Amino acid sequence: MKRIATPARANWRERAQEAGFAFHTIDGSAYWDETAYYTFTLRQIEDDIEAPTEELHAMALDLVDDIVGNEERLRQLAIPQAFWDLIARSWREREPHLYGRMDLAYDGSGPAKLYELNYDTPTSLYEAAFFQWQWLDDQQRAGVLPRTADQYNSIHEALVEAFATIARRLPRPFHFAAVRDSVEDQGTIDYLRDCALQAGIDCGKLAIEDIGVSADGRYTDLDDRVIGTLFKLYPLEDLFAEEFGRYLPDSGLLLIEPPWKAVLSNKGILPMLWQKHEGHPNLLPAFFDDGSELPPGWVSKPLHSREGANIDLRLPDGARVQSDGPYRGPCIRQAFHPLARFDGRSALLGSWVIGDRACGLGIREDDSLITRDSARFVPHVIVEEQQGVLLA
């Protein structure tokens, strides 16, 4: 694994606009960063990222059975009791799921370490699935990268296939929804809806704020039709906490991601994984926070938090790094394991699972030890090494 500096395409912003990548720049700062790229060997991808991702995914699914019928564990995850039966029913009926992203720490040697599962509302999807592939193709055509360079990326094909697989199980009408004013979330559901359309699924789109509730507790669209299936880029725990969400258990609505994903998108899954698989090479020691002083070499994370918010990190030497944010409530503790640092930047690997198959990689960089919402997306390639010489 190496970080290679390279000139950006002169027309990359135009290419982004043509492709509908409206959030390539956020708050005046470039989110997409192609002034560098990461290289991996095929062995690193297959042995250190792809295979562990599929194993960790299977381990996580295996835990769902243990959790949904266990009141103590559901309480540990701070899931409201009003939704326990909904979660158990959605798991029992194996309501279909689409995707997830594992965040991994990896520096090219030794086992990748799981930081967390983003299994409900993972973003950075479009840029991982499409735009970094377009970047690779453009750079090969320009002679910047050799034709032999590849990318760990079959995300788009896997998404279309996954939609086609679950199509018959989706009650109609089927809508995609996200917060109206989030450019990134709107761009993500536009891309996912396009994948569904390619799979032959008729589907619509609306803002999450435009969903109504009928007199008999059914969710409706702007035409007052009862929604059959809703892909919501909106956290399950927020739905559970809002007045709007109290209708969910009896609404008959099929959600993607399904309610059972509330178990896996919760950071409490990390100590539960450790308890069942202590010593696994891809896991970090993790425990539920007991409220005592955070010791050196440990990180505190709220059960429900996103984009690196509300992290409390104590380095082995006792120094403290913290991030602010809106998340409160119970926390877990996870052993500190540093991200790989290249040119003063920390690299977090996002390993994508579509359906139940590992199929791609996205990398975000941050100047800090904590990967926040200001992190930049950097593309990657797979290259061959011969006699110690990098051929890219």
22-26, 77-81, 87-91, 93-97: lowest mean pLDDT where?
22-26
Crossing angle for the helix pair 183-198 and 155-166, to the nearest 10 degrees: 60
Q: What is the pLDDT of residues 305-355, one digit of tens each?
A: 988 999 999 999 999 999 999 998 999 999 999 999 999 999 999 999 999
pLDDT score recorded for residue 374: 85
The encoded tokens of residue 347 equal 């690299």
Comparing CA positions, the residue from 276, 280, 257 lying closest to residue 268 is: 276
Per-residue pLDDT at 373: 85
Kindly tell me if the per-residue pLDDT of 392 is higher than 70.
no
Query: Burial, 142: exposed, middle or buried (Cβ in 10 Å; 0-12, 13-18, 19+)?
Result: exposed
Query: For all residues of the chain together, what is the average pLDDT?
Result: 95
Q: Using an 8 Å Cβ cutoff, are 380 and 363 in contact? A: yes
The pLDDT value given to residue 387: 31
Give φ, ψ of 151 to 5 degrees.
-145, 140
In degrees to the nearest 10, what's the CA dihedral of 186, 190, 193, 199? Answer: -150
pLDDT per residue as tens digits for the range 269-280? 999 999 999 999
- For residue 203, the number of C-alpha atoms closer than 13 Å in the C-beta half-sphere is 28
pLDDT, tens digit, 9 for 90 and up, residues 92-119:
999 999 999 999 999 999 899 999 999 9
Q: Side chain identity at 389, as an amino acid letter?
A: V
Q: Tens digit of pLDDT for each residue in 150-160?
A: 999 999 999 99
- pLDDT bracket for residue 26 (50, 70, 90): confident
Share of the chain above pLDDT 70, in %: 98
Per-residue pLDDT tens over the stretch 115-141: 999 999 999 999 999 999 999 999 999
Listed by start position, the domains of the chain span 2-267+339-390
Inform me whether the pLDDT recorded for 67 exceeds 70. yes
Whether the pTM exceeds 0.75: the reply is yes
In eight-state DSSP terms, residue 354 is E
CA dist 323 and 338 (Å) reads 16
